[in-house]
Structure 1
Amino acid sequence: MAYQLLPDLDAVLVAFLSGHAALVPLHEGRVGTRLAAGTDPAQRVTSLGGSPEWPWEDRQDFQIESWGGDQGQAKTLARTTEVCIYDLIGPVAGGHVRGLSVQLSQLWSPDDTTGRARYITQISCTCYPEGS
């Protein structure tokens, strides 16, 4: 039996956050799996792994760091992300996101080295390949 590949949720999540109309004015496209240089608001996405139940279903957890030049910018970016993230449910490149939940909301965690403002959100996504 041949199975289809599951969506690349890392790429899907970065593309989603990078292009969401409510988020773009806050981070101006500075979203990736590596933190953008500087002190401007930005987001970093880190895959925390997952627990696939079946070859046709995957559940992955992600950490989304919302960085800002100050605590207010970082918090606004985190709060807006947590409202918008549910728009990810539905068709995505390579499949469908059928479930999403926020597991950790707005954890204040300034950078240990620089003191730069950062909030952490953790989400869990359930996805299926195209055609399922």
Structure 2
Amino acid sequence: MVAFHAIVLLSANRAYSGEANETEDKIRQTLDANGMSIVRPTFATWIVIIEKILKHFRDALGGDADDEARVRRSFASLNRIGVTRLISSEVVQKFKEINIKRNEWVGHSGYMGSSQLRV
């Protein structure tokens, strides 16, 4: 679900005219700074992507009527209530809570590469 949400937001970000490249650069910088990569994304990678794009869209939605129209168009003309739900800060907070519980669960061992498995 978190990966799907991130991909929907990435798609909307690309459809948004204006600062898509700038937002993606910020995502890339944050991922690089934290040793993360989209090549082998973790739950936390998707959360970083969501956080950066949500901030961008919340800022734009708080702008003038033209900004709001561009944001809505990015989400295939979804109404303001629908867009607001998708970009709610509560969404990312829930994903973070799920990540914490997931990491604390004994059955979750995380990703192990083939070189680690051979040891």
**TM-score under structure 2 length normalisation:** 0.33
Which structure shows the bigger proportion of residues in helix conformation?
Answer: 2
Instruction: Indicate the structure (1 or 2) with the bigger Cα radius of gyration.
Output: 2
